[in-house]
Each structure stands twice: as C-alpha cells, then as structure tokens.
Structure 1
C-alpha cells in the first residue's frame, strides 16, 4: 500500500474551500500545508514513476461552521487557459481553475468532494459526480495515463440499491451473466493476443476499451437480471485500483443491472493496489451493488450470499448464491503458482448460513475465483466446453467440495484459468443405501478481459462469458457461453431439470465422460 505525505480526517458534512497541487522533490516527505485544513488525496499524480511526487490537496471546512463571509469552491475546471464562463476564476498549480464565492447556504452550489482518476478512458459511474475531460497540467511523462479531476456538487443522494429483492420474472426465468477476469488497468492497457472473426492474429492494441465494449455488447444481447463478477477485475501491479474498478462496473451501472463481486488473486496484488477491504468499500457504495464484505470472523473479504425469490408476493427463495473469497497465491517463494485454499471458517460459515436459511432453494450455487482442486480431478466428466490449459488451483484440499455435495449445491462458477470454459461433473460413488449423491456442476467462466492472457501453448482464443438461466417453474438451470463475434449461444447445456442433475454420470462404463 502506498502512503501520501500526510493525511487528515475528513470532517463531517464537509465543503471544499480551496484546492492545490503540491509537488514534492526527492528526499522530502511532507508538503508545507496545515494538516488541520488540508486533506491529501492519496494518489501520486506521477503514479510513482518519477523521483518527484505530486499530490492533490483539498481544503475542507464543516458546513455547520461556515460563516456568511466564508469563501467556498463553487466550481473547478482544468486546462491551460481560464474558463470562458462568467465569474472570477483563480489559478492553482496543475492547470486547475477555481471559482470561489461566499457561501449562501445552498450546498448544491458548492463542491463537497474531489477525486482523481487516471487515463483518457477513465469513467466515473457515481451519480452526481462530474469527471473532467481536460487533464491536469503536471508535466508527467507522455506514457503515463493523464490525471483527471472528478467533482461532486452538493450531497450525494442515497445510492441506488436493490432494496427490492431479486425475483424471477413473470415467465419464472432469471438470467445471470458471469463476467470473469476483466484484468483492467490504469490507462488503456495493452492487448497482444486478440484474433479477428476468422481467427487470424491481430496486432497489438489497446486492451481496456475492447473489454468495455465486449461487456456492453453481451449485456445488451442477454439483458440479464444480475451480473456476477468472478474475480481478477483488476490486473496486477496497477497504480490506481479505483480507476480500473470503475471501468469494470460502469457498463453494468449504466444499464441499471444489480451486480455482486468476489475478488481474485490479482485484484489486490501490487505495492500500490488497494486492499480487498478498500475495494469492497468502493463496491458497496456504488449503485446497484449487492457486494458485501461478510463477517469479520470469517477468513477473506467478500463472503456473503444473495437470494433470488419466487414471483411476488411469495417470499420463498428459488436460488441462493454463495459468494466466497478464494484468496490468492501463497506467500512462500518455494511454492511457485501455488494458491491458498478455502478456509475452515469459510466452510463453517457456508454450512451455518445454509442451515439458517432453511429453505435456500434447490437451484443454489457457489461463486468463487480460483477453482477448487476437484476441477482438475482425472475422473471429471466434461459435458460442454473444453479444458485448454491445466487447472491452477489450491495446493491443499480443504474439502469444501464435499460440503457442497452434502448440502446439494447445484453448481460452482469460477474464473482464473482464462481459456478453460468447460462445464463438468465429478461422478459420485453409490452409497450403501443404494443412493448416489448429487454432485455440483463445476463450471469455468472463461475470460472476458483483453488485458489478461487469451492464449495458451501458442494458440489464441476468443474472449468469452458464461450465462446462467434459472427457471423456477421447471426447476431447471441452464447455461451457455457468449463469445466474441458469435451472434448466438455456444455450448448450451441443461444442468438441472426438476431440481436434479440432468444426465448424471456414473463412475463405471460411462462412455460420455471425457476423462482429463
């Protein structure tokens, strides 16, 4: 985690009274500003690429303590020349222009918050926030994504949430789009393994604009009731997590679709990355977000559940989605590409939550990023899609899968291994009572991001997303893939019918199994 020269506690009901940029030379750690008034935005405007550092400082005052003669900031602009609009604009470092005026009691006419985002492709999906098109003038290196101000006038209204419960539609169906491994960065990023509609290699291009466009195309084609983000929303070692995260969720928020997210191994990886806790705080405060940090006593950040109810006025759930943090790489340097496992506290949380819900619905599934060890079991029966690369999962099996079998979970959705997109079952042994336990479907989501890898063993593959569709009246769960360029569905498969696994495999003499 990076740290700014100094920070202050933001006062309640604050109003911006001034703004400046402080450039700090090497071997200097502070800016000569009164920390009781000035609050530092904890983002180096040079993005940690220079011996100098540059920081945006905002002077704050408490609205309740403002006198009639107090000057507050009514507007902010950026550019080489002063704005042409009326009023007396004051120049500040970094090409910032400030319009200050006496506070007249109308908070909507005052700037109350200021943020910095980076890149020509930056977006701010928060209602009432205005992202400036003109960047700050700070003489940064040309390859560094430009710094842009985003400002809020007045008080942010309560966020748009799904206070109305998620429910199946009148036709008893409910559709979910799974977006995995977007790998957004600060700036446009680089894609070096895209292909055209005929499968021919394309030259290197900007990555994140392609990812944003692909997300929008699939959302418009499928019109889902819910979006689930299954980790690695962000690439590793990026300089501003907030900028990248906003780009991921903006197409979802623009379409007023509820969404929920888990973290992947790369999301909080890097010396300047925001922690999972900080990223979850950002997600929680965004419109239409259902994401939650989960209980503090449970390992990880983002262990929570979301329920989908039957049509009103019923309060009975059709499905429960359990979201769990699958953690990251193990810190040991001797265990290359070895990943952590689902912890006992998480398994206990799942069991306790399942039992407390009583009727959790018979079409419930688990959402994680890193696949469980069972995804690489040699007895796995692949029913659709393909395994194109080895499964990279935990080095230790904590047997979370066994709990999912015991509790009748229908499916597990994950990301992580970008070019795998199979849906598979692990055959179960018939027990002494003659019954065969129902095993959950193990389903990869594929990767949607052009900034992450999209090739393996020298072969490139299309970016893709998984779609899930529940049908409450039929007790069914169906899935299919959406690929670049493809007009329709790919690898469509019925997973559950009448609440039970469709076409379950057996361990012996099942020629339909693809043993991997």
Structure 2
C-alpha cells in the first residue's frame, strides 16, 4: 500500500514537472533561448493606433502563472522588464493595436501615457472630459472615444521599452516617459522605461556627404565605446582620482565624445566596432540609442561597423544594423547578403563638382577564430569579402563620378580587428616607421588574427592609402606599411595602418599596460591636395584634453607618405 502511494506520488511529481517545464518553455521562450533574443526588434507598424496598454507579471516558479495574454487581442513587446535577471518574476508590456480604418466610432484610442503611483489628474488644473485609467506597474492611460482623434498627430501609434536611468530616445516623434515603471527590482538594476510615438512614423533620409567650401572634410573615428544597458561600471579609469574618484562608465564616455564633437565639429563620425559591451547590455537597443543621440542632436552623419563584443548582448549584428539604419543621420548599411559578415559597404564623399573625391570602405572583421586549434584568437576578413571589395573598387573607377573628377582622389578603409600586418610591421619590427608612439610609451600587444587572408595587399592594389581599426584599446599609433621588392626589401610607402584608441570606460583601459587616457582619432581630408592629416584627442586632463595630439600628414596626392608635421 505504501509503495503504491509512493509510486503514485512520484508519477504525479514527474507529470507536474513536465507540465511546468512545457509551460515555462512556451511562456518564456525569449528568456531561455538567447539566440531568439538576438533577432528581436520591436514591431512598429505604420497605419496602426494603440487602443490599450497593460503590464503582465508572472512567476517563473509557478506553472500556472503566465506572462502571455490572449495573442489574438494583445501584442507582447518581447523585452522582459526584469531583463531576464529575476529568478522569480518576469514582466512584459502588452499593447492592443488596430488599423485606423478598422476602428469603430465608440472605440477608444490612447492619447497619453503617464507613470506614477498617483492619478495624474490630481496635478492637472484642467482635467478635461476623459479620466485617467490605471494599469499595473504604475501605468496611467488617457483614452479618447472620439473617432476623429485616431487621425490626430497626438494619438499614440507605437510603444517601446528602454532601460536605464540614462536611457534616451533619438527617434523623431518618440518620447521617453520621465518615470520608470513600478517594479520590485534591485536598485542597482537598470530601470524599465516606456517610450511612445505619436502620429505616423517619420521618413528618414540618408544624408549625402560632400567636402566643405574650403575643400576639407573631417572624420572623427570613435572606437570601443563599450556602452552598457544603464550607466555601466568603469574599468581602469585614468586618472583614478578624476572627478573625486567617481566614475560612471557610460556617462563619462559619452561626455568625452560630446566634448570632442563640439571641439572638432566633424563632418561625419565612424564608429569602428564594440559600440556595445554585450556582456553588460541585456538590452542593446538602449545602448545604441545613447551614442546615436549624440550625433542626431548635432545633425552629424555617422557610419558603423561591428566588433567582437557588439552582438554578445540582446541583438545580432543584422538586428543592430536594421535598427541603426532606421535612425536619422545614419549612413550604415548591411551590405550584400551574399558576402560574409554584416556591414560591408562604402560611402562616397563628393567634391565641389559633385564627383567623388574620397571613398570610404567599411568591412566586417567578424569576431573569434573559427579554428582555435590552428589559428588562435580572432577571425579574419574572408575571401568573398576581399573579392567584393576589389570588384567594387574597380567598378567605381569606371563610373563618371570617379573618371570625371578633375582632382586627385583618395581612399580609406575602416575595420575593427587589426590586420596581421599591424603586428608584422608595427612597433618592435625591423625598420618600422611608427607615428604617435615612442619607445617606452604605453602599448598593447597587437591581437590581429593568426591567419593572414592578405586583405592588406588588396587595399594597396586598389589605391587605399589609410586603413584604421579599433579593438586593441591601448594602441593609438599609426604604422607605415611599405612596398617590398622581389627580395623583400622595403621600398616606397604603401599604406598607413592606424588605431583609433579605445574611448569607452566600460572596456579595459590600461591594466597590465599601465596608465592610458581614453582617446579618439581625427582624420581631415583636403580635396585640393588629396591630403590626409590625422591627430588624436585625449579624454583627460587639462591641456592634454584641450589640445590636438600627434598631428601629422600621412597622405599626399592620394598616396601614403612618410609622416610630416605641418
């Protein structure tokens, strides 16, 4: 009798566990399968209006608790408000939406959303006809049953969730709510913030780039921001005592970039990888918006490529690219889907004659080696990428935009991971010509891939005179690669290989290599002479933060030359 009871109890326990696991999987599939998160982007469909918003909390330990409302009526925004960090709770925002033409006259549409513990009407002098309606999480909705309100630019047509006290909303027509959603979360976890869009989506046009009236064009290269969801934690800040020792990683990083933007007033910004510190960015969208907001506010075009850490957070490379290309002033492009990687593309800088004066090439250097036993470390540019680059460069030369340009053209390239030649012809190698670094100064060992796919040779053959990378945070020098004769003897200059230097306090910044000030690199192109000059900007301190460092000319008449100062 006792054995039968025990056996029955075990069977019931096994069945209950199976039911729990099934329900947990179905309801939390976005929580337990990170790869599915990597392809998530919020769905904001044109022509829709929001008729209701609510917050649904559930227990991950209770098999009868669900975070999913009726999918026939509700659309769930697939972002756990606890960022998948809570052991017990999960919570999601749900919205009801309808096409405008399907609304019946008495159906309500949302005109405003507030967040707080008290009825917003308590602070309003004119409360109007409509009352605020309460929803979980401190949500308050003001809805109107007037049919014509659905056509107003004030009606809410999309809802999104961002995270962190420092969250920003760079998308035109969108507003982030001041207060965070009321959740039982630890104080050190990024708070969940609601963002809303009023009216139809705004049309985004890609800007066209051209040299200024003085014939010059300035590029600010920003690399290795390592932004987080929330303010982030500083790693190896230099100097440690700056600002009384207080250091919020993303705050200090973004203040540095903003200061240099205002000092240099660049014509465009190149972000050369590891914008997002994937390990500390469970919502990569919030991190991306922070850097994009800097450029959008200043009407500065920007272009992105990705590093080995960007897609270690909540979004894949393709999802990040899709998000970035939807933002104002973004020049980023995914590139051909038949070529390895995401972000193989080019940008033309036009001269006064509307012909191409400067071409910038961007290539994805991927992440980690596919064969650790044979080639340790990092991945390399693939043969099909090199073929794409060569065929693109050759095809561009045959266009009228290139052939009819009456001055000398120039070409540059940007990657994240350094090419093997950065190591093979860098500091410490025989007859190396290094600019921006002296023996004894802080330098990091080059972490180029172990396999050489010879992209350097393709760059030289197609007339690229400068390639610049990120990745090695503590390196911020340029090394000259030279042509070699049949015996391997170095001849005339062929290609400058530059580092941007790490800029973000969320990534390492010295450590075993000693003190290191975060840096940014500037390139200035002079179309009249096909000349490229470069210099650096330091984050700290005093005169070092206010002056240009290591200023030199590295390209004359479109070709690499031994560096000289002007």
Q: 1:65 aligns with which of 89, 102, 125?
A: 102
Tell me if structure 1 keeps the 8 A contact 2:481–2:493.
Answer: no
Match of 1:512 in 2: none
Q: Which has the larger radius of gyration?
A: 2
Tell me if structure 1 keeps the 8 A contact 2:301–2:330.
Answer: yes
- Deviation, 1:436, is 4.9
Structure 2: tracts of 5 or more residues without a match: 1-33
Pair 1:482 & 2:537 matched: yes
Pair 1:260 & 2:294 matched: no
Tell me if structure 2 keeps the 8 A contact 1:8–1:35.
Answer: no
Cα separation, 1, equivalents of 2:385 and 2:553: 29
Match of 1:38 in 2: 74
Pair 1:177 & 2:220 matched: yes
Match of 1:286 in 2: 327
Q: 1:381 aligns with which of 420, 423, 433?
A: 433
Distance 1:183 1:401, change over 3 A: same
Cα separation, 2, equivalents of 1:23 and 1:280: 31
Report the more deviating stretch, 26-35 or 492-501: 26-35
- Deviation, 1:437, is 6.2
Match of 1:213 in 2: 255
Residue by residue over 1:335-355, the C-alpha shift from the partner in whole angstroms, topping out at 9 and shown as x without a partner, is 896111001110011001001
Mapping of 1:43-122 within 5 angstroms?
43-51=79-87, 52-83=89-120, 84-85=123-124, 86=127, 87-102=130-145, 103-104=147-148, 105-122=150-167
Distance 1:425 1:465, change over 3 A: same
Cα separation, 1, equivalents of 2:394 and 2:108: 58
Mapping of 1:183-222 within 5 angstroms?
183-196=226-239, 203=245, 205-222=247-264
Cα separation, 2, equivalents of 1:211 and 1:446: 13
Report the more deviating stretch, 100-109 or 378-387: 378-387
- Equivalent residues, number: 496
Q: 1:412 aligns with which of 438, 459, 467?
A: 467
- Deviation, 1:13, is 1.4
Name the Cα RMSD after superposition.
Answer: 2.5
Cα separation, 1, equivalents of 2:255 and 2:557: 37
Q: Say which SS state the counterpart of residue 60 (structure 2) adopts.
A: coil
Q: 1:143 aligns with which of 167, 181, 188?
A: 188
Residue by residue over 1:228-249, the C-alpha shift from the partner in whole angstroms, topping out at 9 and shown as x without a partner, is 0000001122210000011111
Distance 1:269 1:503, change over 3 A: same
Q: 1:344 aligns with which of 369, 375, 383?
A: 383
Distance 1:109 1:201, change over 3 A: closer
Cα separation, 2, equivalents of 1:458 and 1:348: 38
Would you tell me which structure has more helix in proportion to its own residues? 2
Pair 1:355 & 2:394 matched: yes
Cα separation, 1, equivalents of 2:391 and 2:55: 51
Match of 1:503 in 2: 562
- Deviation, 1:334, is 5.3
Tell me if structure 2 keeps the 8 A contact 1:195–1:202.
Answer: no
Cα separation, 1, equivalents of 2:557 and 2:334: 34
Pair 1:128 & 2:173 matched: yes
Pair 1:242 & 2:266 matched: no
- Deviation, 1:201, is 10
Cα separation, 2, equivalents of 1:449 and 1:232: 9
Q: Say which SS state the counterpart of residue 137 (structure 2) adopts.
A: coil
Q: TM-score, normalised by structure 2?
A: 0.83
- Deviation, 1:503, is 2.3
Match of 2:24 in 1: none
- Deviation, 1:403, is 0.6
Match of 2:368 in 1: 329
Report the more deviating stretch, 441-450 or 322-331: 322-331
Match of 1:296 in 2: 337
Residue by residue over 1:174-222, the C-alpha shift from the partner in whole angstroms, topping out at 9 and shown as x without a partner, is 000000000000111111422249x979735211010111011000000
Distance 1:472 1:431, change over 3 A: farther
Tell me if structure 2 keeps the 8 A contact 1:480–1:489.
Answer: yes
Residue by residue over 1:265-308, the C-alpha shift from the partner in whole angstroms, topping out at 9 and shown as x without a partner, is 000014xx200111001110110000000000000000110010
Report the more deviating stretch, 375-384 or 85-94: 375-384
Distance 1:383 1:191, change over 3 A: same
Match of 1:509 in 2: none
Cα separation, 2, equivalents of 1:190 and 1:269: 17
Tell me if structure 2 keeps the 8 A contact 1:8–1:39.
Answer: no
Cα separation, 2, equivalents of 1:13 and 1:130: 19
- Deviation, 1:498, is 2.3
Distance 1:8 1:168, change over 3 A: closer
Distance 1:454 1:7, change over 3 A: closer
Match of 1:17 in 2: 51
Tell me if structure 1 keeps the 8 A contact 2:346–2:362.
Answer: yes
Cα separation, 2, equivalents of 1:281 and 1:32: 27
Tell me if structure 1 keeps the 8 A contact 2:109–2:155.
Answer: yes
Tell me if structure 2 keeps the 8 A contact 1:9–1:39.
Answer: no
Tell me if structure 2 keeps the 8 A contact 1:129–1:153.
Answer: yes
Distance 1:89 1:42, change over 3 A: same
Cα separation, 1, equivalents of 2:41 and 2:510: 44
